[in-house]
Structure 1
Amino acid sequence: MSERLRRHGGNADVVRQELAAEHGITVSLRTVERAVAHLRQELRAEARATVRFETRPGQQLQIDFGERRVEIAGQSEKVFFFVATLGYSRRLHVRAFRGERQEHWFAGMESAFASFGGVPEEVLLDNARALIQHHDPVSRQVVVDPKLHAFARHWGFAVKACAPYRARTKSKDERGVGYVKKNAIAARIFDRFAALEAHLAAWTRDIADLRAHGTTGEAPRLRFERDEAHRLRDVAGIPPFLASRDLVRKVSSDCSVEVDGNAYSVPWRLIGESVAVTVTGPELRVTHAGQEVARHMLRAGRHGRVADPAHFAGIGRRKATPVPTAPAALLRPLSEYDAVAGGSW
């Protein structure tokens, strides 16, 4: 009975239906509810309970994504927030993205490593489809996406995934995403996406880093600098993993594709088409139907634009329609026409 009730999330009526269908046991819902009352209480307690254990300095980084609609430039826009929390110091790193694809997870982690100045022993994450291919809830066997495996090997950390549907199996229930939504974002309005990014950086530095944490009683920045910073593996000299990657993009109406917040031009005739983008070192190549259609050097920073004038050649150009002219033989003085008509007008 316990296993059946747990499988159905404490729903006594479903248990009653199964008992009738499988064993011919017909009882009232109230009878089943009384029989499983103590089990349902255990489930409720388990759902609220958090098994907390302290991680060593430099041991673990927890990552997660959340989304919220934010008013940017007068428009309501869905924004995806990447939140990374160091398990010991509780220091946060926050990034805003316009998507939650695998590349955004990787960019968020690399940004966190750069911000903290090092890499922890392990990274703890939920079962995001962009990162985990399969996680068996019984055997706890985890099948990691090959690119995440390569990413973790590149940076030298171990991947640790929560049990499916049990986010509380993280070592701590930090509610980092909720903290960002309610405190950093709240009901604020931004005139452009870059202003949102600047606000998040300032909020992390001036508010999140300096607050007295509810569990440790210390400011995350102080705890980090005193005990954790020197326990992280130094990232100096390690090139970005994202320096070599394959992406798929749709050409926008301004004849460009977006990569890491910057726009790169492609021939205008490909507007609306899906193209393959390959980033190798400092170079970006765009191909369509197996043919290279654009090549650019990567631009540093964000919100920039790289354009090749040749990609815009021919936009709006139309063939000129010649104005008909009369043959030379018809262009005669009016006096000749008067004579034929029998006099002048």
Structure 2
Amino acid sequence: MLLPRTFEALPELPKGKQIQVDFGELKVKNSEGKTVKLYVIVFVLSHSRYKYTEWQEHPFTTRDVLRCHENAMEYYGGMTEEYVYDQDKLMTVSENGGDIIFTDEFQAYKQDRGFRVYLCRKADPESKGKVENAVKFVKYNFGKNRVFHNIESWNEQCLAWLKRKGNYQVHNTIKKRPIEVFALEKPHLREVSAPLSFESNLGSSITRIYCN
């Protein structure tokens, strides 16, 4: 049986330069023995391979994606200069003469946060091999054979697993623990202003939450 190929062809990037983002799906058994389908978004810092994930029980919407970006920024304590994605319908509408047209919500968000976007084609795994490998790692090392009770506890368990294993064990490529490399990378992340809210269903506006 042929094993799936892994891709990490691009050279190592400097600290705080890039985050790669991708999605996955996984079927698991719940406590009643029934099969349920879960959806995951995975973020990985390209330099340190430090990962963040969120799962949900329905396919991602653009608003879900933006909310997860905010949660990832809080988790990391900052953001990078560049974010890498597929040309996904959640972020892009079409490509016109080589120019990417983003969805209104995503366009407003990336302008507000001020990060650059690099979009790669689905047939170009070398451009985002770090996160594709991370998605497989999360799905089959955390999710496989785990019993699903509810989405809240599933996400709590996944974050605990990231701390215990996913970001702790030595990474095959960099030969270091992501948590230790992240400690050196974190000071190079860009500061994030007050968090944004995407919970309102009134139009597509972005609401900024100011904390006292």
Partner of 2:186: 229
Using a 3 Å threshold, how does the CA distance of structure 1 residues 106 and 174 change in structure 2: closer, same or farther? same
Query: Identity, % of aligned pairs?
Result: 24
SS of the residue 1:80 aligns to: strand
Distance 1:152 1:81, change over 3 A: same
Counterpart of 1:285?
none
Q: Is the 8 A contact 1:134 1:142 kept in 2?
A: yes
Aligned mates of 1:281, 1:217 — CA distance in 2: 40
Aligned to 2:53: 94
Q: Distance in 1 between matches of 2:8 and 2:183?
A: 27
Q: Which residue, 86, 95, 107 being the options, matches 1:126?
A: 86
Match among 176, 187, 196 for residue 240 of structure 1: 196
Mapping 1:1-345, distance limit 5 Å: 51-74=9-32, 75-98=34-57, 99-135=59-95, 140-170=98-128, 172=130, 174-226=132-184, 228-235=185-192, 237-242=193-198, 246=202
Give the match's secondary structure for 1:94: strand
Specify which structure has the bigger relative contact order, considering alpha-carbon pairs within 8 angstroms and separated by 6 or more residues.
2
- Amino acid in the other structure paired with 1:195: S
Distance 2:108 2:125 in 1: 25
Q: Does the CA contact (< 8 Å) of 1:119 and 1:156 recur in 2?
A: no
Structure 1 residues 173 and 203: CA distance shift in structure 2, 3 A: closer
- For these two proteins, the number of residue pairs brought into alignment is 203
Q: What is the CA–CA distance in structure 2 between the aligned matches of 1:186 and 1:122, rounded to whole Å?
A: 31
Question: Which residue type is aligned with residue 100 of structure 1?
Answer: F
Deviations 1:147-204 (A, max 9, x none): 1111112222111100353233336465111111110111110322222111101011
> Are the structure 2 counterparts of residues 92 and 49 from structure 1 closer, same or farther at C-alpha, using a change threshold of 3 Å?
closer
Asked if structure 2 preserves the Cα contact closer than 8 Å seen for 1:246 and 1:279, the reply is no
Secondary structure, in 3 states, of the residue corresponding to 2:112?
helix
Partners of 2:7 and 2:136 in 1: how far apart? 18
Query: Who is 1:12 aligned against?
Result: none
Q: Aligned partners of 2:73 and 2:142: how far apart in 1?
A: 21
TM-score, scaled to structure 1:
0.54
Structure 1 unaligned spans of 5+: 1-46, 248-276, 283-345
Give the superposed CA RMSD: 2.6
Whether the aligned pair in 2 keeps the contact of 1:52 and 1:172 (CA below 8 Å) is no
Contact residue 42 and residue 51 of structure 2 kept, 8 A: yes
